[in-house]
């Protein structure tokens, strides 16, 4: 079966992906609504949604005063929203341009934050200290070939009793042909270790073209995501599946207050995102 997947070594795939993410930084600086942060109460919609799901599982019901590590922090808008909610934040990303942009925004807003340039799969060795919360969301593990290694980094970054939170596009959604007229399966739901090669000059927000258009992404079924966390010693506290997603995954999606969703008649047919909240055992 030719399902578009290819074998590629991680160093080459990561280099292509990093070039692609570097190209996106100036476009996202224009499209992410950064001037909204001039309102000192502004938090991104992603963080407002995630805090509502997360805080019931935090020991004091708040991120205030917690040490938080944000993996794949991009240009820092969610990281700085967590800081505005009271957390001490460290953002990790492999894109130097994204981190420079994040640091500039933090300085402009007068927010203390630490930024670490690292492959997320090597983040435990790159980041100093340990954390009450490791957070990652919306556009994360499809960029990674090896979830066991990913989950090991998360477990290593967490303090005993610390919490892990992820919300991202559902693997069942990623199996759908985003350009088809109706809900139609096209891409593999199950991973086989090989990468899906994408060639796309556009990004998910705003206009403008990317010079480095080739990326490599990996399918990870929900069982693989959950089992990687269990395998790293984390206890799963809660799993949610939702019918909305923060970005327009397909042209046929319609805008709703939480972001985007399929037309109403199709909304119960397939999940758009999943959320997992997990905990590292206490001492
Ligand atoms: C869609 S963003 C996710 C952040 C957040 N949802 C946002 O929109 O600001 C994906 C981020 O993952 C980063 N990334 C991709 N692969 C990575 C890797 N192997 N290690 C570290 N960061 C990586 C990219 O540089 C990018 O900043």
pLDDT digits (tens, 9 = 90+) for 152-186: 999 999 999 999 999 999 999 999 999 999 999 99
Choose the weakest-confidence range: 4-13, 128-137, 262-271: 4-13
- Tell me how far the alpha carbon of residue 172 is from its chain's centroid: 16
Domains of the chain: 2-280 (3.40.50.150)
* Å from CA of 72 to ligand 1 middle: 4
- Report H helices in the chain: 10-31, 45-54, 77-84, 96-109, 123-126, 147-157, 171-174, 222-231
At residue 239, φ and ψ (nearest 5 deg) are -130, 130
What gap in Å lies between CA 135 and CA 154, rounded to an integer?
Answer: 9
Taking CA atoms only, the protein residue closest to ligand 1 atom 19 is 119
Do residues 25 and 96 touch, judged by C-beta distance below 8 A? no
Q: What mean pLDDT is reported for the chain?
A: 96
The percent of residues above 70 in pLDDT, for the chain, comes to 99
Q: Where are the beta strands (DSSP E) in 152-233?
A: 158-169, 195-199, 214-217
Which candidate, 92, 95, 151, places its Cα nearest to that of 127? 92
Query: Could you tell me the pLDDT band of residue 282, with boundaries at 50, 70 and 90?
Result: confident
Taking CA atoms only, the protein residue closest to ligand 1 atom 13 is 72
Does ligand 1 have an atom closer than 6 angstroms to the CB of 5?
no
* Å from CA of 265 to ligand 1 middle: 33
Do residues 212 and 12 touch, judged by C-beta distance below 8 A? no
- Report the predicted TM-score, pTM, of the whole model to 2 decimal places: 0.97
Confidence at residue 1, expressed as pLDDT on a 0 to 100 scale: 40
Confidence at residue 75, expressed as pLDDT on a 0 to 100 scale: 98
At residue 102, φ and ψ (nearest 5 deg) are -60, -45
Q: Is the pLDDT of residue 213 over 50?
A: yes
Confidence at residue 2, expressed as pLDDT on a 0 to 100 scale: 47
Do residues 175 and 183 touch, judged by C-beta distance below 8 A? no
pLDDT tens digits along 56-80: 999 899 999 999 999 999 999 999 9
Q: Is the pLDDT of residue 256 over 50?
A: yes
Confidence at residue 242, expressed as pLDDT on a 0 to 100 scale: 98
Taking CA atoms only, the protein residue closest to ligand 1 atom 18 is 119
* Å from CA of 1 to ligand 1 middle: 30
Does ligand 1 have an atom closer than 6 angstroms to the CB of 20?
no
Confidence at residue 50, expressed as pLDDT on a 0 to 100 scale: 98
Confidence at residue 206, expressed as pLDDT on a 0 to 100 scale: 82
Does ligand 1 have an atom closer than 6 angstroms to the CB of 72?
yes
Which candidate, 76, 85, 104, 75, places its Cα nearest to that of 43? 85
Confidence at residue 4, expressed as pLDDT on a 0 to 100 scale: 73
Do residues 183 and 195 touch, judged by C-beta distance below 8 A? no
Confidence at residue 273, expressed as pLDDT on a 0 to 100 scale: 98
* pLDDT (average), residues 210-232: 97
Task: For residue 163, give Cα distances in angstroms to 18, 124, 212, 237, 261.
Answer: 28, 16, 36, 9, 29
What gap in Å lies between CA 127 and CA 160, rounded to an integer?
Answer: 17
Q: Is the alpha carbon torsion for 161, 134, 51, 86 positive or negative?
A: positive
Mutate to test the pocket of ligand 1, among 10, 80, 93 (most ligand atoms within 8 A of CB): 93
């Amino acid at each position: 079966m030719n399902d578009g997947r290819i074998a590629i070594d991680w160093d080459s795939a990561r280099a292509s992906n990093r070039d692609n993410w570097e190209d996106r930084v100036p476009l996202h600086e224009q499209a992410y609504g950064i001037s909204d942060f001039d309102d000192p109460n502004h938090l991104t919609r992603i963080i407002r949604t995630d805090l509502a799901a997360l805080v019931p599982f935090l020991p004091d019901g708040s991120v205030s005063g917690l040490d938080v590590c944000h993996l794949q922090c991009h240009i820092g808008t969610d990281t700085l929203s967590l800081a505005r909610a009271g957390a001490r934040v460290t953002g990790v990303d492999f894109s130097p341009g994204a981190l420079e942009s994040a640091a500039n925004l933090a300085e402009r807003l007068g927010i203390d934050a630490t930024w670490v340039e690292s492959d997320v799969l090597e983040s435990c060795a790159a980041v100093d200290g340990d954390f009450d919360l490791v957070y990652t969301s919306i556009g994360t593990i499809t960029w990674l070939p090896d979830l066991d290694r990913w989950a090991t980094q998360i477990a290593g970054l967490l303090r005993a009793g610390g919490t892990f939170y992820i919300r991202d596009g559902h693997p069942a959604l990623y199996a759908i042909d985003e350009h088809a007229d109706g809900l139609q399966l096209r891409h593999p739901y199950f991973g086989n270790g090989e990468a899906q090669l994408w060639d796309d000059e556009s990004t998910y927000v705003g206009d403008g073209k990317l010079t480095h258009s080739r990326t490599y992404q990996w399918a990870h079924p929900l069982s693989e995501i959950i089992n990687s966390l269990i395998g790293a010693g984390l206890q799963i506290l809660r799993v949610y599946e939702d019918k909305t997603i923060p970005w327009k995954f397909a042209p046929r999606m319609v805008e709703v207050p939480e972001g985007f969703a399929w037309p109403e008649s199709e909304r119960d047919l397939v999940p758009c995102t999943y959320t997992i909240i997990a905990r590292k055992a206490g001492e």
